[in-house]
Chain A
Amino acid sequence: MSPPLPASLLSSPAAAGVLSTCPYCGVGCGVRATVQTDGSVAIEGDGAHPANGGRLCVKGSALGETLDLDGRLLYPQVRAAAGAPLERVSWDAALERVASGFRRIVDTHGPDAVAFYVSGQLLTEDYYIANKLMKGYIGSANIDTNSRLCMSSAVAGHKRAFGADLVPLCYDDLELADLIVLVGSNAAWCHPILFQRIVAARKLRPELKLIVIDPRRTATCEMADLHLPLKAGTDVWLFNGLLCYLERHGGADRGFVAGHTNGFEAALSAAQVDCSDPAAVARICKVAEADLLDFYQQFCATQKVVTAFSQGVNQSSAGTDKVNSIINCHLLGGRIGQPGMGPFSITGQPNAMGGREVGGLANMLAAHMDLDNAAHRKTVQTFWGSPTLAERPGLKAVELFAAIDSGRVKAVWIIATNPVVSLPDADLVRRALGKCELVVASDIVEQSDTNGFAHILLPATGWGEKDGTVTNSERRISRQRAFLAAPGEARPDWQILCEVGRRMGYQGFDFESVHQVFDEHARLSAHDNGSTNRRPDDECDNEHDSDVSGRRVFNLSGLCGIDRAQYDGLQPVQWPVRRTPCGASEGTPRLFLEHRYAHADGRARFVATAARSPRHALGVEYPLVLNSGRVRDQWHTMTRSGKSPRLAEHIPEPFLDIHPQDALLYGVREGALARVASRWGEVVVRVQHGGGITRGNAFVPIHWNDQNASDARIGAVVNPALDPISGQPEFKHTPVRIEDFPVSWHGFILSRHDIAMDGITHWTRIRGRAMQRFELAGREAIADHGQWARQRLALSDAEADWIEYEDRNAGVYRAAYLREDTIEACLFLSRRPDLPSRAWLAGLFAKDKIDEGDRIGLLSGQAADRAAETGPTVCSCFGVGRDTICRAIVSQQLASVAEVTSALRAGGNCGSCVPEIKKLLDAELAAPSCGKRA
């Protein structure tokens, strides 16, 4: 349970609750957190937040269940030597180890021998310090982030088309559009609130059409007017085809193209190579030509089109081209820079955008300035007054861990992310960390697949404890505010980074408060960036033509000099933020209203995107396409969402979703286990259908890992193919094969206490209310079930209250352990996957005493039917109860024992109950009542 709060930590009285921002997806919903008197935290939507207007999805609503301290990392820990166990040390000792370790390696091997691998979960301020330390002081650009796995293709696409990483539009435009095209986005599950806004808008305006382009028929498709289940990886053909179609069918705005863009001809001819004929495109994309044309026609006929895209587009070896092929189509018709239209990258993480703004990626500098731009480097270095500055791009996520594996990078500091689970070819990551000279991890959890490799573990504050800002998909900067005390010795990441910076002997890390970090970030954005109260598309820019090229759209000039009170009161605002003449700060809902783009010439770029297939083709050995992604109620590697019993109910186990005919073809059965194997690795998960998977495709969720499953790290299977420009991995297309994973028994355990899983072939741990659930399967047959069960549950007491059921020939064994009528644990085993529902059993753990009916039914997995209550037995020969007899006497008007006997057989054998039956008859005939009794 969360500790009580010192009032000092509350930015507003607890009663009123604290306004913050949800730490999950990129929608960035406002939440109001209220600490209850019992220490628990009530979560509700912030009605005033523009992103969600008070709505929250199930994950957000369950945030209160994720704040307990189970498994929290509370103290710094270090290993005395490699292989030695982690031991608690003082912050001082730990920070000294980090600083001296990095210092030593930088001094002996140069700055590029060290790296940071950070996270889109970090707050902007944390991110800013990490980037500043690595690029400005250590002097390497080896800082990359898990956002690389998420939206780096969108960043690259934006930069190619617009000259900077700019998202032109805002959420309101989804409601103002006449056509929304969702590409590679299961928004219904992954951005639920945004999707609900779309659904609500369609209720109000049925003429707002929704087209979904996705190889899977996801929940999102259920709401769509048209679903194009295109073949995985053929998006560029689809949009090149659209480009040709628009050009041919009057969907082009010649004036706009001529006036505001470059490169159209090249883009068109690249598209025309193989995409000018819709029929051919339909064949390549494996969609019905009629549906394809329907999509093209609607796009062509509608000016207000928003094309929103997510990982299905970004996570591809052609991700950047996919993004640009989409943007090309918007540029051709001038469908950009006006309300209700534009290409819209919907990011996956709460602060992927913030990371981009501070430059926390290996190929960026800071504040949307570029590493390969000398002027930018000068600007930043002078602003920072830093001793050095990285001169060339650093290693991107996948390359970074390859470099660790090859020994080029000898020290890595991993902050708030879990690469051993989330990166492609994740077994290589594990190998690499295993031999890395220095691995530092900052985290909020003690146990994770990655932290197991850390030489130094640093406890960071988590959501609800930390203070700072995040930026959502529509460029909206919102505050995350603390409403809980930092547990143990946990510290904010920006402080930890500053401490290390100071200990490495650097100036420029002496911040007293997080708002000072934000202020510096804001000032850097405005530094050398034109006069602070002008927007890039102000007409008066002509006076400044000299520095138009230096003008950056990302500009927080309106927030420079912010003080603590203003920072704490900061309302959600969309950058660029300028200062109005009257001194207020004003955000910017939309960019490009004047069609001035960030390229030096102010024009947008068409990019020639020659379509190409995914990096690794299918073959005989690996005939299926693996697609990985999120499920509705879990988040990333489950370190937070995995704590919530409510969230565990939706999808408790990792699974493989495939088409039933493929299941037949490859000999796997729904509900049974299957191995999913690629050239890089394998997992074993349960087979299911119904996820709308087309033939030849397979889907496995990304969340499960070695902490909660025996064999479900799908990252190990995913190929490390990268987009050549963005470096984003191809998570959506790995050639795999699947095969049956035979086991000799299936089972599950529900227990109030943790159960050791050693020696069990296959298992998944699931958080329940007041208990944990373990799904099990084994290969070695169990000789003595009773003994095995007692050992598993660590039950030594022979006198324990132990109920057991056995059907040995069927290999069925069930047992329950109770204490004073409270269920401690139960265990069900069977040779076949025919185990009873866990739901009712799980409910028993909520009771402090289970009743007779529960106990009788327990090992059957359901309550004994109270309706079938017959009352105390009267005729024991035929087991007829008093209530049954009374009911019969009344309902069938029985008048004699003989009639009762002929009706119910009662009294028909030994006859010893005949006198009682007589009594009941007399009683009933006198005053019909006992039938209603009991």
Chain B
Amino acid sequence: MKPSVPRRQSLVVIGNGMAGMRTVEELLKLAPLLYDITVFGAEPHGNYNRILLSPLLAGDKQLGDIMLHDRQWYADHDITLHAGDAVEFIDRKRRYVRAKSGIEVFYDRLLIATGSTPFIIPVPGHTLPGVTAFRDLADVEAMQQAARAAGHAVVIGGGLLGLEAANGLQRQGMAVTVVHVMDSLMERQLDQPAAALLRQALEAKGLRFLLSTQTAEIVGERHVTAVRFKDGSEIPADLVVMTAGVRPNIALAQRAGIHCERAIVVDDTLQTYDPRIYAVGECVQHRSATFGLVAPIWDQARVCGAHLAQSNHRHYVQQATATKLKVTGVDLFSAGDFVGDGDSHDLVLRDPRRGVYKRLVLKDDCVVGAVLYGDVKDGPWYFDLIQKKTDISSLRNRLLFGQALCTASPS
């Protein structure tokens, strides 16, 4: 028999993913007893590290390695978890949510962390069996299933996720072709020279690439058999993976009349237009930006957790983001504005024999962007310089040669 405590407020979390649960963690750090917490998740598991789906697919990691919170953890923290039971309805007047199973839970505070859904290009045949996204454990299982039969895989979308999927499938023994509408890979993270080096490296690993290529149709009767392109050409496919980007998952919020644009609009405290409702993660739009990388989402969770804990002294400030490609044997780092403009200055280092390409973009004696290929050891340091807006004028001549040399006595 627990000692009687005053009735605690109810916090309902929609979405059992990284953003939502990190927010809960931050909240518990500050106010472990403030809320009765109920978590709804569409997937039938505890919370796992979505970023590690690639190593999981590649076979570098096991399911156990990527679990962040198993069911025991929820129990230990008195959190009610409804896994595999998606919320379908929010009543903002009466302040309760209803799940698919019919469960209804009243809330004082609601946290929407519904993340995003993969964008499936609506070409003919996109619903055929054998066409999948690369978003969750189910997708990974489907891909591993297909991989057991070897055969041909076509990955549509040559961004970060697509290349990791392609690499994973290739490691699982499939012949993989990456189809990309743009003329260079990872154009959102890499400049042309780095992308070219990356392509060479991946081709050396056995991947094939079709760049500047638009998919026209996914061919097949009962199951995908091929992919046809706008130019009429066609390649065989036993598996098609769509990695053409994601869309914030906001259908539920929209039905509830919460103000959305491309995503759920939040302020610097991650609060939506409904003061009782907060949102974090890939489903939010903050100062017209949406999010796909983990670092800013950790920041959001910290801020949002603090406000839920009513120690609301933090504001979410967008930071430059850094990307790393999780493909074994390919070292790639990119951060900030690596495109630059008329006022920006470039530092470039090329060492083809070592497979090294480095480029820093400077503006007003600060680093604003970095692209590193082959030697990424100093990526985080440059990222730090970018975020801190450190004046590097005194280091300029040594900057690109790395932190060790810059901190060493000048020559």
A interface, CB within 8 angstroms of B = 801-810, 812, 818, 834, 836-837, 840, 855-857, 859-862, 864-865, 867-868, 870, 873, 876-879, 908-912, 915
Contacts and interface: CB of A to CB of B under 8 A. Distances in A.
A836 B410 CA distance: 9
B210 to A, nearest CB: 28
Given A804-B349, A836-B411, A840-B411, A877 B322 contact: yes
B229 interface: no
Given A856-B401, A868-B407, A912-B52, A807 B294 contact: no
A802 B352 contact: yes
Contact of A911 (B49, B378, B398, B405): B49
B235 interface: no
Interface in B386-403: 396-398, 400-403
B351 A911 contact: no
B380 A879 contact: yes
B379 A879 contact: yes
A910 B51 contact: yes
A912 B378 contact: no
A617 B138 CA distance: 97
Contact of A864 (B65, B354, B376, B402): B402
B1 interface: no
Contacts of B375: 856
A754 to B, nearest CB: 25
A915 B68 CA distance: 11
A919 to B, nearest CB: 11
Interface stretch (B153-161, B242-250, B309-317, B340-348): B340-348
Given A873-B377, A879-B381, A912-B55, A803 B350 contact: yes
B256 interface: no
Given A879-B379, A879-B380, A909-B295, A857 B51 contact: no
Interface in B18-53: 49, 51-52
A856 B353 CA distance: 12
Interface string B279-323: 000000000000000110010000000000000000000000010
Contacts, number: 104
A876 B354 contact: no
Contacts of B349: 803-805, 859
B326 interface: yes
Contacts of B68: 911
17 contacts: A801-B353, A803-B353, A804-B350, A807-B346, A807-B347, A810-B397, A812-B397, A837-B411, A856-B375, A857-B401, A860-B401, A868-B407, A876-B376, A876-B379, A878-B380, A912-B51, A915-B65
B92 interface: no
B324 interface: yes
B351 A803 contact: yes
Indicate the member of B349, B397, B408 with the most A CB atoms within 10 Å: B397
Nearest to A869: B404
Contacts of A864: 401-402, 404-405
Contact of B345 (A807, A818, A878): A807
B408 A862 contact: yes
B294 A909 contact: yes
B363 to A, nearest CB: 11
A805 B352 contact: no
Nearest to B353: A801
Contact of B377 (A857, A860, A879): A879
Contacts of B402: 856, 864
Contacts of B398: 860
Indicate the member of B294, B400, B401, B402 with the most A CB atoms within 10 Å: B401
* Shortest 8 CB-CB contacts between residues of A and residues of B: A868-B404, A860-B401, A879-B380, A865-B404, A809-B345, A862-B411, A803-B351, A910-B51
A190 to B, nearest CB: 33
Nearest to B400: A805
Given A803-B354, A879-B377, 8 more contacts: A805-B348, A805-B350, A807-B347, A808-B346, A855-B351, A865-B408, A868-B407, A877-B322
Nearest to B322: A877
Contacts of B345: 807-810
A878 B324 CA distance: 11
